[in-house]
Structure 1
Amino acid sequence: MTYSNYHTHCLFCDGKDEPEDYIKRAISLNFHSLGFSSHAPVHLPSSWTMKEENLNNYVQTIKSFKEKYKNQIEIYCGLEIDYFPGISGPDSQKFKRLDLDYTIGSVHFMKNEDTGEYLTVDGDEEEYARIIEVFFKGNVQAFVTEYYGLIRSMLSEHKPDIVGHLDLIRKNNKNQRYFNETEDWYKEEVFKTLQEIKKAGAILEVNTGAIARRYLTTPYPSPWILKECYELDIPITLNSDGHSPENLDTFFSESLNLLRDAGYRQLYFIKNKKWSIKDI
């Protein structure tokens, strides 16, 4: 099967290599298309998102490679854009003006409403525990509910093309240390969020990034969630969340098996600048 990938991080944010290194790797893998999705600039200090002053250069750089490699692979320019309630998100004007090919809407940051401090749900385990213990006074259910609530709010307000790593909060929940995915309250939060994805008409990604970085052994979202997605007829695309060229297709064949087990027989990909479907 010919693959594509639309979740790619290069040196413009926290990726390891130049964009052209990823393109050459994708060509060697016989990819149909490759989309770049650097972490968009945010309004607070961050070591892993793109700097505001590099945004226009990023867009122009990726667009220049579209032309250079047009006879070998389709190249697309996107951004992974974080949602901050009342501040910014995928539909913010400063991103819309860039004429991107697509957006990935994600929630990484959570805010302490008492102090205004932000921490990320996919940082190290110490940061994750601090969010739960300090931001939510040890109430794990409140933490999970807020996380999925932010995704739903993003979908209702901003309508990203792709929803990024839906259950990212699973990354530091090794051995169900903080919450159990089989609990009714957890499933209810997921179900409500899937309904919002369906309503928004967004595409949900199967994201293999945490496998490449050895945090998890299955992609986002969990296999049981994929089955619920199939029942709701939610469109799916397969992405690696690659931070280095060698990880562009990590766990893709295994993920296709998980998708088939869930009932899926088609994936979404971009062809000639439009979303299309292909059989798996």
Structure 2
Amino acid sequence: MILYDGHVHTPFCPHGTKDTIESYIEQALAHGIKGLTFAEHAPLPEGFIDPTPLRDSAMKKEHLYEYIELIQQYKKDYKDKIDIRVGLEVDYIVGFEKETTALLNDVGPQLDDSLLSVHFLRNDDRYYCLDYSPEAFAEMIDVFGSIDGVYKNYFDTVKQSITANLGSYKPKRIGHITLVRKFQNKYPATHDFRANITDILDTISTRQLQLDYNGAGTAKPLCREPYPPASVVEEAIQRKIPLIYGSDAHSHKGLLQGKDQLVQHAPLVTPDS
């Protein structure tokens, strides 16, 4: 049974639903969940232009403090029923490390938990959103030269995110490390990238970081597996990397998504275990 969901979104997400924060909490209680990390997409760094058509990848900077205050209030209101944590999902974007560090230094003292994820890849001076749509992924294949070119750039960027100096408030959990596989059933890689993934896991282990065991991919029709899949989770278990389940829910009904496709013996923990 999953007792903690460490990756939950809110109505502050411009590409999610408008389900209320209270509806997420009540749904969690109904499922017997003992704790939640609300990890809304942090505002994108100063000067970065969201490449998605609607520029709706993350919450706006003007909503950040309202979001934090609201989660803090729910944390107090429900303290006798469920462990609520104030968090963010922070984007690692190559070339914007200084701006990301500034954001983390600003809000870090108010956070209980956070994730560091890669959604955007750089090619020359342009950025592309990796998980926006199959059509956008097809464009990236052209830009990066092949499907394998996209995969290599993604795993290189994830490795770079882990080793980057983002200050003392850098997130301790690495988000959905195989997100590049979101459209794999339409655009399968020809290389298995096992060595790249093993290198990432070794780096996570060495730096004593946590791994987001993310169920969202199971609900994606061109993916149908968790991020990361079972073979990678087994490698993480061997390295004793802390695995924290994350539904990556963008609606209250998304809580616990993918739970039946997780490695059943995986030792899921809470962020402070």
Specify which structure has the bigger relative contact order, considering alpha-carbon pairs within 8 angstroms and separated by 6 or more residues.
2
Match for residue 195 of structure 1 among 202, 215, 228:
202
The 1:151–1:2 alpha-carbon spacing in structure 2 relative to 1, beyond 3 Å, is closer
Q: CA deviation at 1:250?
A: 1.7
1:178 pairs with 184, 188, 196, which one? 188
Partner in structure 1 of residue 237 of structure 2:
230
Letter in 2 for 1:87: F
> What pairs with 1:1-280 in structure 2 (closer than 5 Å)?
1=1, 3-13=3-13, 14-16=15-17, 17-42=19-44, 43-45=48-50, 46-88=55-97, 92-98=101-107, 99=109, 100-113=111-124, 116-134=125-143, 136=144, 138-157=145-164, 158=166, 159-174=170-185, 177-180=187-190, 183=192, 186-255=193-262, 258-260=263-265, 264=266, 266-270=267-271, 275-276=272-273
State how far apart, in whole Å, the 1-side matches of 2:241 and 2:207 are: 10
Give the unaligned 5+ runs of structure 2: none
Kindly indicate whether the alpha-carbon contact (under 8 Å) linking 1:103 and 1:160 is maintained by their aligned counterparts in 2.
Answer: yes
Q: Please tell me whether the aligned partners of residues 80 and 106 of structure 1 are also in contact (alpha carbons under 8 angstroms).
A: yes
The structural deviation recorded for 1:213 is: 4.1
* 1: CA distance, partners of 2:4 / 2:185: 30
Change (3 A) 1:206 1:89: farther
d(CA) in 2 for partners of 1:83, 1:195: 19
How far off its partner does 1:89 sit? 7.9
Residues 88 and 19 (structure 1 numbering): CA distance in 2 closer, same or farther, change over 3 Å?
Answer: farther
Which of 54-63 and 37-46 deviates more? Answer: 37-46
1:192–1:211: structure 2 CA closer, same or farther, 3 Å change rule? Answer: same
- Tell me how far apart the structure 2 counterparts of residues 160 and 48 of structure 1 sit (CA, whole Å): 19
How many angstroms does 1:196 deviate by? 1.3
Distance 2:60 2:183 in 1: 27
Provide the rounded CA distance (Å) in 2 between the counterparts of 1:192 and 1:232: 12
Q: CA deviation at 1:62?
A: 0.4
Q: Percent identity?
A: 29
What SS does the corresponding residue of 2:79 show, helix, strand or coil? coil
Is the CA contact 1:79–1:104 (under 8 Å) kept in the aligned structure 2? yes
Match of 1:206, as an amino acid? Y
| TM-score after normalising by structure 1 | 0.86
Q: Quote the Cα distance in structure 2 between the aligned partners of 1:125 and 1:7.
A: 24
How far is the alpha carbon of 1:15 from its aligned partner? 2.7
TM-score, structure 2 normalization: 0.88
Give 1:166 shift.
Answer: 0.6
Contact 2:94 2:122 in 1 (8 A): no
Aligned counterparts of 1:89 and 1:83: Cα–Cα separation in 2: 11
Shift of 1:143: 2.3
Answer yes or no: is the 8 Å Cα contact 1:82–1:89 preserved in 2: no
Compared with structure 1, are the counterparts of its residues 94 and 33 closer, same or farther at alpha carbon in structure 2 (3 Å cutoff)? same
Q: Which digits, 9 at most, give the CA deviation of each residue in 1:157-189, with x for residues without a partner?
A: 1452111111001011116x33146x4xx1111
Q: Deviations over 1:127-180 (max 9, x none)?
A: 11111212x1x23333222211111111111452111111001011116x3314
